[in-house]
Amino acid sequence: MKINSFGMRYWGLVIGDWVWGLRTIALSVISCISFPLWLRKIALLACLLLLVACQAKNPNANNQAQVQVARVVSGQTLEVVGMAERPNLISQVRLIGVDAPDLRQRPWGDQAKEFLEQSIGDLDKPVVLEFDLQTKDKIDRTLAYVWKDGELLNEQVVKQGYALFVERSPNHKYDQRLERAQQWARIMGQGIWNPEKPMRQTPAEFRRLNR
């Protein structure tokens, strides 16, 4: 029996919702039972690994653009060249779902920027921008998911503990993936979640208090 592309997308969504539901039930059960802390962490990591395996790995080819990175501005913002509407001018790109520490929020702001620079690597090699429902923010920055060598950099910045995941409507395409990345960072004590030196203020709180 042949299944067309619409059918594949439909069943992909059904399976994704089913697995996400199992994750919610599993986490609830784990939190209610008096397992040792180390065993609960292993169980949570197993749930996250299962969910990552069920998540699509590549961008949607029908809703993307290939661009050249000119500069990394911060842990959540890039300057790129090659956008269709202004191919020879520099455009700012804001990573969807990522709230990185302000550069004045030391040492976390500098660390987030450095990680994104390392993840992008050679500036001569292009990156792929994938768009969601809303493509511009109120200050005219392009909103995008950034892919490099098959990796979703929005996810990696959050997973390694260099930024927070913040849900913002109407762009929800990879919310579950980013939420799982943040759960992983918290469990593993990565970066801003390091229990010995945690970030005490969220980036939004810091900016509000230091305008």
> Which DSSP symbol is given to 61?
G
Contacts of 69 (CB under 8 A, 6+ apart): 78, 79, 80, 120, 123, 126, 127
* pLDDT (0 to 100) of residue 84: 78
> What parts of the chain have a pLDDT lower than 50?
1-19, 51-56
**Angle value at C-alpha 45, between 15 and 155, nearest 5 degrees:** 70
* pLDDT (0 to 100) of residue 207: 94
- What torsion do the CA atoms of 148, 70, 60, 184 make, to the nearest 10 degrees? 50
* pLDDT (0 to 100) of residue 83: 87
* pLDDT (0 to 100) of residue 68: 96
Largest Cα–Cα separation, the chain = 61
* pLDDT (0 to 100) of residue 3: 40
pLDDT digits (tens, 9 = 90+) for 88-125: 899 999 999 999 999 999 999 999 999 999 999 999 99
